[in-house]
Structure 1
Amino acid sequence: MSESIKDLGDVPSFPAVYAAALTRRPGAKRAADLPEITHRVRSVRIDPERAAAFDHLMGGPATELVHPGVLHVLAFPVSLSLMARTDFPAPLLGLVHLKNSVLQHRPVRVGESVDVECRVRNLAPHRKGRTFEAVTTILAKDGQIVATDVSTYLAKGSEGAGPETRRRQEQSPSSGKYGPAPGRSGGKAGFTPPAPTARWALDAGTGRRYAEVSGDANPIHMSALSARLFGFPKAIAHGMYTASRAFTESRPDLSRPLQWDVSFDAPVLLPSAVLVRYEDDPVTDSTHCVGWQSARSGKPARRHFTVDVTALV
């Protein structure tokens, strides 16, 4: 069966998406598979004021070339609208963002209009539930693909892998959030922090400021009070805030095609201090970044994220 397309009149608002997710009847049976449908919005303009505000929040100057984090923000509510559908196999609220990868084929200019298409794929067992990928394609008006954004999510639950699959995942060198990242040493228990090259002091309002420019006002990011309703002791920073700030501080050349890969290991509670290290590799024309919380009160250092930015041409 071919995948169908649902055209949306505009990019959905976050309140509308979350309201749709909450209208599902409690106890209603979930679908077994991912829906074979694409949500699409045509002619979405990249607003100059929003792009500039995003650049400034990440600590960089406003430029005429768009930060790929803005492309993610542009597409995020479209993918959420797909995940809020009644025929989606996992609840939207409670999904955990494990990884993100953006492949940008050419520079994108502020004020440009693009089409946004979102679909989901690769529902797979995980030791803590199931994972899937939300794939967003950004297209220019001539139909050429400008960028592809792949977000990997974990839906926690009892429908995960069996004991043998869990054992293999735990031992796998590419198990992401729950093990060492590919080519990097140190998982949750074995992370040895390097010498930092930067330190971020994130205050309690970090999540609210990112919500102002991104629109993502998920309660877990807004305040300690609202975060506690969802099981967090404090508000947590948006993962894509930390990823986007690390991208900006890696000093990428936005005039070139690029790959931006992120792995989220542990949430950043607010307020907190995050130690960061950047390492440039001239051979691969890339920058690697890792962010972590220093050891304290008898607890080992805790890695929060890794970011890799690679110029492709």
Structure 2
Amino acid sequence: MRAAALRPEPAGRDRVELPRMPAAGALYRRALLGALPGPGGGRRGPGVPGVELAVGGVSVDRAHLAAYDRVCGFRLTDRLPGTFPHVMGFPLTLRLMTAPDFPFPLIGLVHIGNRITVHRPITADETLDFTTYAENLRPHDRGRQVDVVLVGSVAGEKVWEGVSTYLGRERKPGGGDRSGRNEPPAGTSRWRVEPRVGTEYARVSGDHNPIHTSRLGARLFGFHRPIAHGMWSKARCLAALENRLPDAYTVEVAFKLPVPLPSTVSFALLPDGGFALHDSRGRPHLAGLVR
């Protein structure tokens, strides 16, 4: 493996160019070691990593794209769903988030929000360059939160950008409740979410966090059974909106209560461009907005 190139970035970050997309499996093993006490764990960095990681020339595997479309409910086409570049670049963000100077251990981190901007349609015959970095470490009423930015470009043109907000839970007095108390909107459709969604989405996304795929893994982190990936929930909602989306748009979601596997959820389309996902008792799983 070639040594990574390193050069200074104007924003105060060093740019590290990797020769290829990292392997997610090895990074998850590093994350598991980082969750253990002792020398394998170690102290976390006090701020965000001072680097921007980059990988160029990432092509679309059409079989992978088709499998992703099926799991999330998209039509089978050569146009990438707005959430698919997140999956393509996920191993790069995973490399950033498993570094010793990332402020939180990956295992136990909570994905609380995601914003995606599609600047133009992207097709399967295009090759993307990805960069990722972390920024905006700030307080949260249940700990601290940080944004992980992933940017996709084609021939120097920024075509896609995603910002994932993660919560590192810390003990604080009077922690807030993010489940929401408002009356839920009327559902326009209901979906049955089967247990296989956890393992199938893990396979197509590379996100093998055990809280999504293992009953034991879920219980270790306080869940009675596995929960669906938040980005699967977002993708499934976008699939329901597929015919309404313009060529360029921003879609932002806040993840509320997790979706246990199995369960039945209610999808609601709102008149202001918003959408929501609720459980059978009206409690919110996700609140989103397209603009």
Give the TM-score, by structure 1 length.
Answer: 0.83
Displacement of 1:2: 2.5
For residue 306 of structure 1, the aligned residue among 254, 262, 287 is 287
Q: Secondary structure at the match of 1:68?
A: coil
Give the conservation status (yes or no) of the 8 Å contact 1:119–1:136: yes
**The 10-residue stretch of structure 1 (71-80 or 220-229) with the greater mean CA deviation from structure 2:** 220-229
Displacement of 1:291: 0.7
2:61 maps to a residue whose letter is D
Give the conservation status (yes or no) of the 8 Å contact 2:225–2:261: yes
Matched, 1:80 2:94: yes
Alignment correspondent of 1:293: 279
Distance 1:150 1:127, change over 3 A: same
1:17 maps to a residue whose letter is L
Q: Secondary structure at the match of 2:77?
A: coil
Alignment correspondent of 1:8: 18
Matched, 1:245 2:236: yes
CA distances 1:119-141 after superposition (whole Å, capped 9, x unpaired) = 00001111211001000111112
Q: Please show how residues 1-313 of structure 1 align to structure 2 within 5 Å.
A: 2-24=12-34, 25-26=39-40, 28-141=42-155, 143-158=156-171, 178-179=177-178, 188=180, 190-252=181-243, 256-281=247-272, 287-295=273-281, 301-310=282-291
CA distances 1:220-239 after superposition (whole Å, capped 9, x unpaired) = 11132332233321000010
Counterpart Cα distance in 2 of 1:20 and 1:269: 27
Give the conservation status (yes or no) of the 8 Å contact 2:264–2:279: yes
Runs of 5+ consecutive residues of structure 1 not aligned to the other structure: 171-177, 180-186, 282-286, 296-300
Counterpart Cα distance in 2 of 1:18 and 1:292: 31
Counterpart Cα distance in 2 of 1:39 and 1:102: 19
Distance 1:88 1:197, change over 3 A: same
Alignment correspondent of 1:174: none
Distance 1:27 1:220, change over 3 A: closer
Counterpart Cα distance in 2 of 1:128 and 1:60: 35
2:99 maps to a residue whose letter is R
1:289 maps to a residue whose letter is F
Q: Secondary structure at the match of 1:54?
A: helix
CA RMSD of superposed structures (Å): 2.0
Displacement of 1:216: 1.5
Displacement of 1:253: 5.5
Counterpart Cα distance in 1 of 2:144 and 2:243: 34
Q: What is the identity percentage for the equivalent residue pairs of Structure 1 and Structure 2? A: 35
**The 10-residue stretch of structure 1 (250-259 or 132-141) with the greater mean CA deviation from structure 2:** 250-259
Alignment correspondent of 1:284: none
Distance 1:131 1:8, change over 3 A: same
Counterpart Cα distance in 2 of 1:23 and 1:215: 18
Alignment correspondent of 1:183: none
Runs of 5+ consecutive residues of structure 2 not aligned to the other structure: 1-10
Counterpart Cα distance in 2 of 1:238 and 1:30: 25
Give the conservation status (yes or no) of the 8 Å contact 1:132–1:154: yes
Counterpart Cα distance in 2 of 1:105 and 1:293: 32
Counterpart Cα distance in 2 of 1:232 and 1:64: 37
Counterpart Cα distance in 1 of 2:243 and 2:129: 25
Counterpart Cα distance in 2 of 1:20 and 1:267: 25
CA distances 1:240-261 after superposition (whole Å, capped 9, x unpaired) = 1110010010124566111111
Extract structure 1 runs of 4+ deviating beyond 4 A.
252-255
Displacement of 1:27: 5.8
2:53 maps to a residue whose letter is H
Counterpart Cα distance in 2 of 1:256 and 1:17: 34
Equivalent pairs counted in the alignment come to: 277
**The 10-residue stretch of structure 1 (15-24 or 214-223) with the greater mean CA deviation from structure 2:** 15-24
CA distances 1:134-178 after superposition (whole Å, capped 9, x unpaired) = 00111112x1111110001101124x6x87xx7xxx6xxxxxxx4
Counterpart Cα distance in 1 of 2:152 and 2:243: 20
Give the TM-score, by structure 2 length.
Answer: 0.89
Alignment correspondent of 2:5: none
